[in-house]
Amino acid sequence: MEAVHTLDGVPIARIPLDGRGHRATGWWGMMFFIITEGTLFAYLLFSYFYVGAQSPTWPPGGPPELTLAIVNTVILVVSSIPMRLGTLAIRRASRGALVAWAIVAALLGVAFLIIEATEWSRKPFRMSTGSYGSLYFTVTGFHFAHVVVGLLLILEIVWRALADRVSAARPLAVETVGAYWHLVGLVWLFVFFTIYVSPYLW
């Protein structure tokens, strides 16, 4: 007969590995991380407007092409939907649905990265070209990196679900990753308005 390991009389298998709800340390950690990252992007976007206000022509060469940026905006905003549905699925104890929705969100994220890299390759300038090029690639590059991190976190959630390490009683990992992914989409809306839309309004 297999021995059951216990801690203070409670089977170890029944002890939760993470916190519960919005009082959990992990939840607060992600919230403060989101605030920090939001502040970082606020400074970056402020720098874009500040430098632009000092320049006689901004951006150099005229407003950027919008087509790929609009497509990417739609993709990233839509990707929040399957991520949210995945969170709701694990709350209903449906790990299969969580895996399916997380994979959909990840595929949309990959599509975003491919389109963003394609747009970079078509730019006639580079980061070293001037202040605009430096700001453009810094802002979009930081966001690109955040999407990559988000994808890695989503893949970890898929792995946890397949390994039976998330459940309706322990959804914290899914909820915090979902919050991060929504941040990625929200930040992109500000990046899109700043980099792509605002030049048409000046």
pLDDT in tens, 99-121: 999 999 999 999 999 999 999 99
- Please report which confidence band the pLDDT of residue 155 belongs to, taking 50, 70 and 90 as the band edges: very high
Across 134-156, average pLDDT? 97
| pLDDT of res. 1 | 43
CB 150 within 8 A of CB 181: yes
- The answer to whether domain 6-200 has CATH 3.30.420.10 is no
pTM of the model: 0.87
Min mean pLDDT across 29-33, 70-74, 76-80, 190-194 is at: 29-33
Longest dimension (CA), the chain: 81
Domain boundaries, the chain: 6-200
Across 120-135, average pLDDT? 94
Tokens encoding 179: 């919050």
